[in-house]
């Protein structure tokens, strides 16, 4: 939907228009909830003066997508439900005037209902439901709901105030498609969800709107539009790379067009840097009464543009007030600056890993952008390190346990810093796989309380997991295990739980016995000892499953000083593993712990 015109129109701006609802659209279907929600929203909405402006805040309806037929005549491609409801409200308000003072309303004509325009103008009464057809049923029902809503307002209700708000402070995003586009095709794209009308689509129309280049010659206009469209596509294409996308997002973040992420981010940064928010903190304005009084002259960005699904568009629409070529260029350069910053971080090995880590553990990217402001590369690198250190205040590795605070953050940092420490390593930590595959914190050697073995699986479990070591010195239990394996006879599950305790040994929930693993691999071996887990890790890596480098090092026993038994995760292995974690991430741990460990 390129080269389309977009603007903001009040309900009053629509009054001279004639709207045609094509047959490919379904009829009017708004319910009582939808109608009353709209009425209630407008009723409680209070327009505020916008500081340093002649305008007031306004209530925003979702987009109306139209295609021009003739002068003041429009095919409605999307938004007919909202238009019909707006007409019904206007019709009710008009009844409060004598006939010669009533406003001429916009007309609505449904292609599927030959006399629909006349019905809407003359036959609505607010008392009866018209069951002549399904469309008239819903329209007459909605009109009755509107009439009843107004009748049930209390003495404090001022219908004139409501009418003024509805006419002049209730606005729609007016999206006018080019004449060359096929209306049915546009309708199908919007309503199939394949190409929804998003903030990105609306903002793109702002950039490519010819009226914003009023003083440019035709060729210059065409070249500028091509330049923006080309760069737009490049940014969108780059963000379609999941490696980049999951680097800048904590979670999946499903957006129809990923360039919208930058627009949302710019709005979030503006909110975070809002001087009015800071001013209210300084003045200690907290009570509802004081906030309402303050809003009369000073509004926050959130109060001006809202936090609904189209707030980002309204924020950008404000940036195009001057409708000048300079304004277009400045806005586009700002977007490119954000895009270039994110790509620079992604392409820098150290920044990729450290910023990616902070985002993965919950740091908002807007805070990282703020941390970067007016800093040299060295200063920004120091800021990132301090930010990472702040996550581990009062952390003692020897006290970190399964399901405890920071365990996932520590294991993730161990993997990332291990990669960073190897300057010859060309592979990067795959944040996309880490987030898409739902990695778990899991025991290296299973603990008995997590293990449940069905009766029919007892023999296989013992064959796979029982290794006679110095810890297994109880002759009676050893003989019992041997008898079960030899005879093939299962025992009671409760009795077998005691054997599980014996085979797996003392429970260890400390970080010495924990690693990161994708949930698929984890589910496949949760009941197993180190021996079986090691075998399955090797098999899954051969199959192409990504195994985190530190997890692979654990099961290959690369951390172990003396490898006596490759199939057992013993005390020496656990001690060596803890020491390695400590050494790799020491720079981020509290200095008190460092000093103690260096003595």
Cα-flanking dihedrals φ and ψ of residue 171, to 5°?
-130, 155
Boundary of a domain, candidates 165, 197, 229? 197
Residues 193 and 288 in one domain: no
Q: Which two tokens stand for residue 535?
A: 């075998």
Residues 82 and 116 in one domain: yes
Residues 169 and 246 in one domain: no
pLDDT at residue number 408: 94
Classify residue 116: in a domain, yes or no.
yes
SS3 of 315-358: the string is HHHHCCCCCCHHHHHHHHHHHHHHHHHHHHHHHCHHHHHHHHHH
451 pLDDT above the threshold of 60? no
pLDDT at residue number 232: 92
pLDDT at residue number 217: 64
List the domain range (segments joined by +) for residue 452: 399-598
pLDDT at residue number 595: 44
Boundary of a domain, candidates 307, 332, 347? 347
161 pLDDT above the threshold of 50? yes
pLDDT at residue number 189: 61
Dihedral Cα 564, 568, 572, 576, nearest 10 deg: 100
Residues 410 and 341 in one domain: no
Residues 547-571: what's their mean pLDDT? 86
Using an 8 Å Cβ cutoff, are 442 and 515 in contact?
Answer: yes
pLDDT at residue number 531: 79
349-360 helix and 377-389 helix, angle to the nearest 10 degrees: 30
| Length of the chain (residues) | 599
**CA 272 – CA 400 distance, rounded (Å):** 34
Domains identified in the chain, total number: 3
Boundary of a domain, candidates 163, 197, 231? 197
Query: What mean pLDDT, rounded, does the chain reach?
Result: 84
**CA 296 – CA 51 distance, rounded (Å):** 9
**CA 402 – CA 4 distance, rounded (Å):** 56
Classify residue 386: in a domain, yes or no.
no
Residues 3 and 133 in one domain: yes
Q: Which two tokens stand for residue 88?
A: 């019904």
Classify residue 132: in a domain, yes or no.
yes
Residues 129-133: what's their mean pLDDT? 87
Burial class of residue 71, CB neighbours in 10 A (0-12, 13-18, 19+): exposed
Residues 309 and 234 in one domain: yes
Using an 8 Å Cβ cutoff, are 352 and 428 in contact?
Answer: yes
pLDDT at residue number 523: 66
What are the CA-CA distances from residue 350 to residues 114, 170, 242, 311 (Å)? 67, 49, 19, 35
Work out the end-to-end distance of the chain between its first and last CA atoms, rounded to an integer number of angstroms: 68
Residues 500-513: what's their mean pLDDT? 73
pLDDT at residue number 114: 79
Bridge partners, residue 515, by sequence:
442
**CA 207 – CA 202 distance, rounded (Å):** 9
Residues 205 and 175 in one domain: no
Q: What pLDDT digit, counting tens, does each position of 270-284 carry?
A: 999 999 999 999 989
Classify residue 374: in a domain, yes or no.
no
Q: What pLDDT digit, counting tens, does each position of 401-442 carry?
A: 888 889 999 999 999 999 999 988 888 999 999 998 888 888
Residues 96 and 207 in one domain: no
**Any idea which residue has 């593993």 for tokens?**
577
Residues 97 and 237 in one domain: no
| H helix intervals, 319-457 | 325-347, 349-360, 365-372, 377-389, 407-421, 431-436
Does residue 307 or residue 18 have the better pLDDT? 18
Residues 502-512: what's their mean pLDDT? 73
Helix (H) or strand (E) holding 139: helix 134-151
> Could you tell me the pTM of the whole model?
0.73
Using an 8 Å Cβ cutoff, are 110 and 135 in contact?
Answer: yes
**With pLDDT > 70 as the criterion, what percentage of the chain qualifies?**
83
What are the CA-CA distances from residue 367 to residues 64, 101, 528 (Å)? 36, 56, 42
Residues 452 and 568 in one domain: yes
pLDDT at residue number 471: 58
Q: What pLDDT digit, counting tens, does each position of 66-88 carry?
A: 999 888 899 999 889 999 999 99
Using an 8 Å Cβ cutoff, are 455 and 425 in contact?
Answer: no
Classify residue 62: in a domain, yes or no.
yes
Classify residue 375: in a domain, yes or no.
no
The distance from CA 92 to its chain's CA centroid, rounded to whole angstroms, is 40
Classify residue 368: in a domain, yes or no.
no
Cα-flanking dihedrals φ and ψ of residue 553, to 5°?
-60, -35
pLDDT at residue number 1: 44
The number of CA neighbours under 13 Å toward the Cβ of 176 is 16
Residues 186-205: what's their mean pLDDT? 69
**CA 345 – CA 363 distance, rounded (Å):** 15
Residues 182 and 287 in one domain: no
Helix (H) or strand (E) holding 239: helix 218-239
Q: Which 8-state DSSP code applies to residue 445? A: S
pLDDT at residue number 598: 47
Q: How confident is the model at residue 264 (pLDDT cuts 50, 70, 90)?
A: very high
Classify residue 572: in a domain, yes or no.
yes
pLDDT at residue number 447: 65
- Taking residue 579's Cβ as centre, other Cβ atoms within 10 Å add up to 15
Q: What pLDDT digit, counting tens, does each position of 376-389 carry?
A: 999 999 999 999 99
Q: Burial letters for 201-229: b for 16+ Cβ neighbours within 10 Å, e otherwise? A: bbbbbbbbbeebbeebeeeebeebbeebe
Using an 8 Å Cβ cutoff, are 344 and 368 in contact?
Answer: no
**Any idea which residue has 């399904």 for tokens?**
134
Residues 334 and 430 in one domain: no
Most confident of 27-41, 119-133, 313-327, 551-565: 27-41
3-state secondary structure of 15: coil
């Amino acid at each position: 939907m390129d080269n389309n015109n977009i603007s903001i129109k009040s309900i009053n701006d629509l009054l001279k228009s004639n709207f045609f609802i094509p047959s490919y659209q379904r009829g009017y279907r708004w319910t009582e909830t939808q109608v009353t929600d709209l009425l209630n929203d407008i009723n409680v909405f209070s327009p505020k003066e916008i500081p340093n402006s002649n305008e007031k805040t306004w209530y925003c309806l979702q987009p109306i997508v139209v295609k021009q037929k003739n002068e003041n005549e429009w095919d409605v491609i999307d938004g007919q439900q909202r238009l019909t409801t707006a007409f019904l409200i206007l019709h009710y308000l008009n009844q409060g005037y004598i006939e010669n003072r009533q406003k001429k309303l916009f007309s609505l004509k449904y292609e599927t209902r030959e006399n629909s325009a006349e019905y809407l103008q003359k036959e609505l009464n607010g008392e009866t439901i018209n069951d002549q057809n399904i469309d008239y049923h819903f329209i007459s029902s909605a009109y009755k709901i509107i009439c009843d809503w107004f009748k049930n307002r209390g003495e404090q209700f001022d219908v004139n105030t409501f009418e003024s708000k509805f006419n002049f402070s209730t606005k729609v995003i007016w999206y006018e498609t080019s004449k060359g586009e096929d209306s049915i095709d546009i309708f199908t794209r919007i309503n199939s969800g394949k190409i929804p009308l998003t903030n990105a689509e609306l903002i793109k129309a702002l950039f490519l709107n010819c009226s914003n280049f009023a003083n440019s010659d035709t060729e210059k206009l065409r070249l500028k539009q091509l330049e923006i469209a080309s760069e737009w596509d490049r940014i969108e294409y780059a963000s379609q790379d999941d490696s980049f996308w999951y680097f800048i997002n904590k979670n999946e973040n499903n957006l129809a067009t990923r360039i919208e992420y930058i627009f949302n981010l710019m709005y979030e940064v503006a909110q975070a840097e809002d001087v009015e928010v800071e001013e209210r903190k300084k003045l200690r304005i907290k009570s509802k009464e004081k906030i309402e009084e303050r809003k009369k002259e000073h509004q926050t960005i959130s109060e001006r543009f809202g936090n609904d699904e189209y707030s980002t568009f309204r924020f950008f629409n404000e940036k195009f007030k001057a409708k000048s070529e300079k304004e277009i260029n400045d806005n586009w350069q700002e977007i490119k600056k954000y895009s270039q910053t994110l790509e620079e971080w992604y392409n820098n090995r150290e920044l990729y890993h450290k910023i990616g880590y902070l985002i993965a553990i919950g740091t908002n990217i807007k805070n990282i952008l703020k941390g970067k402001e007016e800093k040299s590369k060295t200063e920004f690198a120091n800021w990132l390190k301090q930010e990472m250190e702040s996550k581990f205040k009062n952390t003692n590795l020897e006290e970190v346990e399964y399901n405890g605070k920071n365990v996932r953050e520590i294991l993730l940092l161990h993997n990332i810093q291990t990669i960073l420490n190897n300057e010859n390593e060309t592979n990067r930590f795959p944040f996309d796989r880490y987030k898409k595959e739902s990695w778990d914190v899991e025991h290296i050697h299973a603990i008995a309380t997590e293990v449940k073995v069905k009766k029919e699986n007892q023999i296989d479990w013992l064959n796979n997991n029982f290794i006679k070591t110095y810890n297994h010195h109880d002759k009676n239990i050893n003989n019992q295990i041997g008898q079960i394996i030899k005879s093939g006879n299962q025992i009671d599950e409760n009795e077998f739980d005691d054997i599980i305790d014996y085979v797996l040994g003392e429970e260890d929930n400390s970080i010495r016995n924990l690693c990161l693993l994708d949930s698929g691999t984890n589910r496949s071996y949760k009941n197993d000892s180190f021996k079986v887990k090691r075998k399955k890790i090797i098999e899954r890596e051969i199959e192409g499953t990504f195994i985190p480098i530190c997890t692979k090092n654990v099961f290959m026993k690369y951390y172990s000083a003396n490898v006596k038994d490759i199939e057992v995760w013993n005390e020496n292995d656990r001690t060596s593993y803890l020491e390695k974690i400590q050494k790799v991430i020491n720079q981020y741990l509290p200095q008190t712990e460092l000093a103690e460990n260096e003595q």
